[in-house]
Chains A and B, each alone.
Chain A
Amino acid sequence: MSTLKIKDLHVSIGEKEILKGIDLEVNTGEIHAIMGPNGNGKSTLLSAIMGHPKYEVTQGSITLDGEDVLSMSVDERARAGLFLGMQYPQEIPGVTNSDFLKSAINSRQEKPISLFKFIRTLDKGIEELEMDPNLAHRYLNEGFSGGEKKRNEILQMKLLKPKFALLDEIDSGLDVDALRVVSDAINSMRSDDFGCVMVSHYERLFELVKPTHVHVLVAGKIVLDGGYEVIEKIDQEGYDWVKELGIEIEVEEARRPIILENCGKKA
């Protein structure tokens, strides 16, 4: 069994502190759901675990089976067994999915994967996720629909077989059928060697991929731990009840439209 342990994690972007002391322990064999209002730190938590350079860890620790994750580079974290399924996967022109996936697989094994084995594994994944058979030759995520990008994240997860997958709103942009396909793929990974942290706003995903633990993250802190009943409560009542716990919900700043006449205005 492997364990991902997060203790008193504080994370900032520039001057602004986003996470204000997160404690979370995930074992393989478990699926943890993280819910919470927009702009309260869910995606920041997953990105900080993976080591995104934008986020600065100012306090606390993350360990994977006792190893200090924070001292690892992003690629070392990946090779140690972490995987981040991104909310907005990057489009990289000129790099084919095939070249990308081969490089990713080869990065974690001494001997490069044989072409035959690679093609067989890739074709199987493509079929299982009901993806475009030409995927291998297309440029990485370029021109992909939102749903295709998310399936591609799951395909990578299946091929790279991480110990812990961190899935950030993997259900956004998916229609009902695609959500079923993606959920089946995540469920097929469930084993004593695989743990998962899933961020989502919707009960539907958690109906299909039943979490073992549920956490509510508000204002940079986990304010409630529980089981599936928490998801049902959020689905029915939203987050207003959180205020009764004496917690202020952070409201995401709405982007102000730029009014053209302001541009030329003298101060």
Chain B
Amino acid sequence: MEQEVKLEYSISIKDENIHSQALPAGVKIDQTAIIFDSSEPISVNINIEIEKQDAEVRYILNPGVSVELIETRSGGHGHHLKRQIQVKENAHLALLTLDESDSSIKVSDEVEIDRFAHVESAYAELSLSDVTGKYAYHLIGEEASAKIKMAALSSHQYKKTYEVSLLHSAKATYGEMNNYGVVKDQGHLFFDGIGHIEKGYSQSATHQTSRIMVFDKECVAKASPYLYIDEYDVKASHAAGVGRMDEEHLFYLQSRGMTKNDAMRLITYGYLIPVVDVIDNETVKQAFNETLEKRMGD
């Protein structure tokens, strides 16, 4: 079903406070915080204009609220964006962060997830720039859960480094991350996945997968999994791999008439596209595909 992107709201960070036009019902701004509080589900698309060297934004989801949020960014070359996200009891957040700008940036996310709250967070990182991302998810309440997906493309001579962590500090918490990357030309791409279950927090589970597909000889890629488990009666798993595109996949598609380039583009698309599934929005999927196609041809 064709679905329009919800009305886009622009937020600029240029001094101590966040500035915005009027936000939809259930969303309000309090200095550097955007607060979600409504009994109805909220769906909003926010573009953040970064005009400050060290920019901060806080999202606060009050108990029980359900939010679908698409965040895009503009400006901010060489800046540091710090996002703090508080997901309170029973709240639900589906967050898609689209970084398609060409601004080198450092981003730090600190996400706190309380009892019975659930977060699905996806990072689509197709920008032509250097990016350092440090994304920390802290499961602080019983039965809190987080699912993180990342799709990153690094090309030309750009360097992208991501550290994604799941810290379990309550019983029966669930964390899962799937980091997928493609690196071409002389690009660099590094994934560090960290799962940490602290002592006393039994029946928790932490799972991670990191895979990077390498296109060219001069690429640099590394996927490193880390598991720190200080408790018995938990589940933990990791998988990490760096490799070239599967020759059998290429042969299969080419044997149906697709050129090698078209086959590679389709495989890459299939590899990265699940990231946008976190929010069911055809327009976003199409835009992601168009950007990916452009980047693959660059």
- Tell me the residues in window 71-128 of chain A with beta carbons closer than 8 Å to chain B beta carbons: 73-75, 77-79, 83-84, 86, 89-90, 92-95, 99-100, 103-104, 107-108
Q: In the assembled complex, how far is the CB of residue B245 from the closest CB belonging to chain A, in whole angstroms?
A: 11
Given contacts A75-B257, A94-B272, contact A86 B266 (CB under 8 A): no
Please state if A92 and B267 are interface contacts (CB–CB under 8 Å).
Answer: yes
Q: Which of A74, A94, A95, A99 contacts B254 (CB 8 A)?
A: A74
Q: In the assembled complex, how far is the CB of residue B142 from the closest CB belonging to chain A, in whole angstroms?
A: 33
- Which interface class (under 10, 10 to 19, 20 to 34, 35 or more) fits B? 20 to 34
Please state if B253 and A84 are interface contacts (CB–CB under 8 Å).
Answer: no
Please state if B272 and A53 are interface contacts (CB–CB under 8 Å).
Answer: no
Cα(A54)–Cα(B246), bound, Å: 13
Please state if B256 and A53 are interface contacts (CB–CB under 8 Å).
Answer: no
A200 close to chain B: CB less than 8 A: no
B230 close to chain A: CB less than 8 A: no
B298 close to chain A: CB less than 8 A: no
- Which interface class (under 10, 10 to 19, 20 to 34, 35 or more) fits A? 20 to 34
Return chain A residues, CB-CB under 8 Å to B271: 93-94
Q: In the assembled complex, how far is the CB of residue A161 from the closest CB belonging to chain B, in whole angstroms?
A: 11
Secondary structure call for the B interface:
helix
B269 close to chain A: CB less than 8 A: yes
Return chain A residues, CB-CB under 8 Å to B249: 90, 92
Cα(A77)–Cα(B252), bound, Å: 13
A233 close to chain B: CB less than 8 A: no
Q: In the assembled complex, how far is the CB of residue A144 from the closest CB belonging to chain B, in whole angstroms?
A: 14
Q: Which of B251, B253, B269 contacts A53 (CB 8 A)?
A: B251
Q: In the assembled complex, how far is the CB of residue B209 from the closest CB belonging to chain A, in whole angstroms?
A: 12
Return chain B residues, CB-CB under 8 Å to A156: 256
B258 close to chain A: CB less than 8 A: yes
Cα(A53)–Cα(B246), bound, Å: 12
Given contacts A94-B270, A95-B269, A103-B262, contact A160 B251 (CB under 8 A): no
Q: Considering only CB atoms, which chain A residue lies closest to B272 in the complex? A: A94
B64 close to chain A: CB less than 8 A: no
Q: In the assembled complex, how far is the CB of residue B231 from the closest CB belonging to chain A, in whole angstroms?
A: 31
Give the 8 A-B residue pairs with the shortest CB-CB distance, closest first.
Answer: A94-B270, A95-B270, A107-B257, A104-B256, A74-B254, A78-B257, A90-B252, A75-B254
> Can you spell out 28 A-B residue pairs with CB atoms less than 8 angstroms apart?
A51-B255, A73-B260, A74-B251, A74-B254, A75-B257, A75-B258, A75-B259, A75-B260, A77-B255, A84-B255, A86-B252, A89-B252, A90-B246, A90-B248, A90-B252, A92-B249, A92-B252, A92-B267, A94-B270, A95-B267, A99-B266, A99-B269, A103-B262, A104-B258, A107-B259, A108-B257, A156-B256, A160-B257
B residues with CB within 8 A of A: 246-249, 251-260, 262-263, 266-267, 269-274
